[in-house]
Structure 1
Amino acid sequence: MADIRDRQPSRRRLLHLSAGAAVLLPFAGLVRPGMTRAATPACGAGDPTPRQTAGPYFSPGSPQKADFTADASDGEVMQVSGRVLDTDCRPIAGALLDIWHADPTGAYDNRGFRMRGHQFADDAGRYRLTTLRPGL
């Protein structure tokens, strides 16, 4: 019989998915040039980020970087920043953020690390990256 712990994500996996979701949220096609998104309005609801269900997926061995603009020859530059918080709204210092998204033409690099990378949140859980707006 399977242990219930086998079906629940580990803390590391939950942090990985939470960070990925936080980074990818602005890429949902709702961001306009110069637009600033407000922080999550309700902190402390205690709900973890939902599991990832659609690919493309994480690839191990990505480079550590905060600037993705050299990964494509043309595109609209955008800044993405935020904070990684636990379910009690405390910053997660050193959280690993795995970042990947489509290039300006809408293509994902599933073999290499174009528009893929990682970084670590600072002591206040903050992250910032410069990238090119993903195409659809």
Structure 2
Amino acid sequence: MVTQELNQLTLENYSLQTARICTRYTRLNEEEIKFYTGLPSSAAFMWLVSYVRDVLTKSLFLTSEDVLLLVLMKIRINPPQRDIAFMFGISETTVTTYFDVAIPALAKKLVFLVRWTYVLSATLF
């Protein structure tokens, strides 16, 4: 009786641990992609992934799509590192590493998208 209950609880524990790893690019619909990334469509997201794949951190745990999704989620909605770690089933340290490596690499790769305008204020003269 106790052994059977232990086996049942062990199975339930495993199911809960694997079920929490649910945020993945492939599981998101079009509206969720727009909300989490700020991009107009999943097609735009996939174009961006293909363009920046070479500068994204290679991961044993996440695909390039998921690494970019994680970074864009952090930029767009700024959830705590702990939430992102839980959503993707990785450690907070790993989230920080992905973010710290990806931001400078993306900034360098996507610099052509930033248009700077210089406005001289009349108060300066």
The higher relative CO (CA closer than 8 Å, separation ≥ 6) is in: 1
Taking structure 2 as the reference length, the TM-score comes to 0.27
Structure 1 or 2: larger strand share? Answer: 1
Taking structure 1 as the reference length, the TM-score comes to 0.25
